[in-house]
Chain A
Amino acid sequence: AQSVTQLDSQVPVFEEAPVELRCNYSSSVSVYLFWYVQYPNQGLQLLLKYLSGSTLVKGINGFEAEFNKSQTSFHLRKPSVHISDTAEYFCAVRPLQGAQKLVFGQGTRLTINP
């Protein structure tokens, strides 16, 4: 079985500041890793995913994430945030084989203050 922990339920940041949203996972098998974003009144959208290869993954809207296998982490970063980045961010994993379901973390609400 898999589990995902997002260590921060809320992260307030000033505009143009850097941000890191933390995600740790546990799994007995290899997994794919995802970050989804939910803007107000919208569905979840894929931000980026790690499948294999380079551990630094770049996504949409200037976000990137780094896969660290030894620490079982997949933290999301952005060097300079905008007001429009205000949203809920979800880390998720899915096994390479077998069960097709995504296992999500609790979500982190990112609030950008002017």
Chain B
Amino acid sequence: TQLLEQSPQFLSIQEGENLTVYCNSSSVFSSLQWYRQEPGEGPVLLVTVVTGGEVKKLKRLTFQFGDARKDSSLHITAAQTGDTGLYLCAGAWYTGTASKLTFGTGTRLQVTL
């Protein structure tokens, strides 16, 4: 069973600060997805990274896939209160019958004024 460890588990910062969330595994994944989940809702996809070393930017969010495709990071620049939520990384792999995701343990981010 693949495992994905996320750190930190909780993060409480003030608006304007920068932060980085890490997602680590001993397994290699075909791709790595990042989701954000808000209270009372299901997770929503932010980005998918596929190639080792790939970097993707989504406005103030920067996602990186490790060279060996075992780890990933999410960096938020100048956090805003609207960034508050649960961030989940998920490693994708193919079982032979379907594509599955293994989810990380999650990072709960709180951004305050």
A and B are interacting partners: no
Give chain B's interface residues, CB within 8 Å of chain A: none
